[in-house]
Every structure is written in C-alpha cells, then in structure tokens.
Amino acid sequence: MKATLTKAALVLAVIAGVTVEPGRAMAQDAISPTSFPSFGVASVTYGPYLRIEGGYASRSLHDAYWLPPGYPGKDPRVNFDLDDDKGAIWGVAAGYDWLNGFRADVELLGRSGMDLNGVWASPGPGPHADITGGTVRTTALMANLYYAPLEQRGSHSRFQPFLFSGLGLANNKVSTWTRTNPDAEGGEERTDRSFEGDSNLTIAAAIGFGASIQLTKPGQHPVILEAAYKYYYFGTAHGGATPLPGSGTSEPYKPLTFKPNDQVVTLSLRIPLKRY
C-alpha cells in the first residue's frame, strides 16, 4: 500500500507543480481562457451539484492472515497470498462548487463482491491451510475534496484538471468463509472448515487525479464529464470465528483478516443544480 500511495503522491506533486507561478506575466498567460481555444469558456457552475460515478477497479487484498485455534502455542500465525481480481465500483454524491478551484461532496460508494481465494504464504515449513471460499463486499460514505489548480488561478475553461482526496467510513462485509487443509489428520483438523461471516466499520481513505470537461455549450445548463484515477484504502475486513455446523467446534484465535485496496478508473457526470 505504501508503494502505491508513494507513486500516487508523486503524480499529484507533478500535476500540482504546473501551478507554481513562474512570474506574474507568465501566470496571466497561463490562466487566460484563450489558453484553451479548443475548449472554450465554461458556464458558471457555482453552487450545489449532484454527481453519479461508475468505474472499473483493480482490486487487492493485502496483509491477509489468521491465527488458528492452537495459537500461540501449537499453531503459528499463518499469512495468505489472496488472489487479486477486477470488479466494479459506483457512487452517488451531493456537493458544492465554490468556483474558486475548490469543491467538495459527500458520496455513497459501493464495491462489487470479491471472491476470497488464496494459498498460504508463510511461515515455513508447511503445509498450512489455504483459503478456498468466501466473498467480501464494501460500501463506504466518503467526504471528498477536489482542487482544480487552473480554475483556482482564474481560468474558466471548459477543461479543468484536478486533484482529489477523500476520507470516510467503510463497511466491509465478509460472507461465510472456508479454509482447506488437504493434509489434515481428522477430528478438529478436518480438511474443510467453514466459519460464519462478519462485518466491521473502519476508516477509509482515497487519493487521485483527473480532469473534467463541460459537455454543454456556454449559456446552457452545464453537464460536466469527469475522468479520474483513484486509489482507495478500505481499512480492515475480517470474517467470523464461529464454525458452521459440520465444521468442528474450535474457534480461531483470530479469524481471516485482510485489507481491501482498489485502484480505480472512473467516469462521472456532474450536474450543477443552479442555473445562472
């Protein structure tokens, strides 16, 4: 996660760097609407707005592990390499545009279900159980802040690059999940054991960058299309510890636990609610 955040931060720094003032005369040229002759001057978007969003996510589950029933004496902590996958993300937001380079919104965000599968990664020697079943779904309530550096410096072009950050709460819901140990010796050490699901509320964060373009002509009620890359950290998720019927009675010291992270490319439509 640190490596991804570092890469994203470097990209944001590069984009932000274009706003460093090289001199008053050069700045005035940079913010002139004529700097964007192919896009034209935007309609006024000051005030409240609604935004709908959809995207394609590359999803990862980091730091996956469990503490088996025999922990910390008989059994060690077992770390898993859970599979990555692709999925969808969507959101609905309401916000306010101050038309000074800053806008903010509150967004209800949804993430499609992701299967839980993966082999044990450490410690050695094994073998240990693998994760062979379950899903995780995430919903989040995010407070988002957008910064458009060219608009902040006076440009009213229909095209505006922006930086993005978000902070909120995520609800990670894990379904019933299964661990499989083909080398189990019977009894409580049966080959497949399944456990109840669980959900938990955790801190979520996001960072990203993108650009918007007003689709409508000046003077018409504005409709704005946004394209963005966003990195989401959805905190920590975990399954339940209670075994399902037929899966024995011993409970893990700590059930399957992991951290969902998404890299997302999104498209949004933003519609101001006031007409000027």
pLDDT single digits (tens) 171-187: 999 999 999 988 766 55
pLDDT digits over 133-159, tens only? 999 999 999 999 999 999 999 999 999
HSE, CB side, 13 Å, CA atoms: give it for residue 12.
21
Asked if the model's pLDDT at residue 226 lies above 90, the reply is: yes
- Residue 188, pLDDT score: 56
Mean pLDDT value across the chain:
88
- Residue 39, pLDDT score: 80
- Residue 165 is assigned to a structural domain of this protein: yes
- Residue 249 is assigned to a structural domain of this protein: yes
- What value does the mean pLDDT take over residues 244-258? 95
Pairwise CA distance, residues 228 & 110, whole Å: 17
Q: What CATH number does residue 87 fall under? A: 2.40.160.20
- Residue 276, pLDDT score: 80
- Residue 81, pLDDT score: 97
- Residue 26, pLDDT score: 31
Q: What percent of the chain has pLDDT over 70?
A: 84
Pairwise CA distance, residues 45 & 63, whole Å: 43
Number of domains in the chain: 1
Backbone angles phi and psi of 81, in degrees to 5: -105, 85
Q: Which helix (H) or strand (E) holds 88?
A: strand 85-97
More confident residue, 182 or 243: 243
- Residue 121 is assigned to a structural domain of this protein: yes
pLDDT digits over 27-55, tens only? 334 344 444 445 889 999 999 999 999 99
pLDDT digits over 58-91, tens only? 999 999 999 999 999 889 999 999 999 999 999 9
Task: Give the residue numbers spanning the domain of 176.
Answer: 2-18+49-272
- Residue 41 is assigned to a structural domain of this protein: no
Band of pLDDT at residue 101, cut at 50, 70 and 90: very high
- Residue 211 is assigned to a structural domain of this protein: yes
Provide the token pair at 56: 């394609």
- Residue 260 is assigned to a structural domain of this protein: yes
Strand 254-272 relative to strand 237-238, pairing: antiparallel
- Residue 30 is assigned to a structural domain of this protein: no
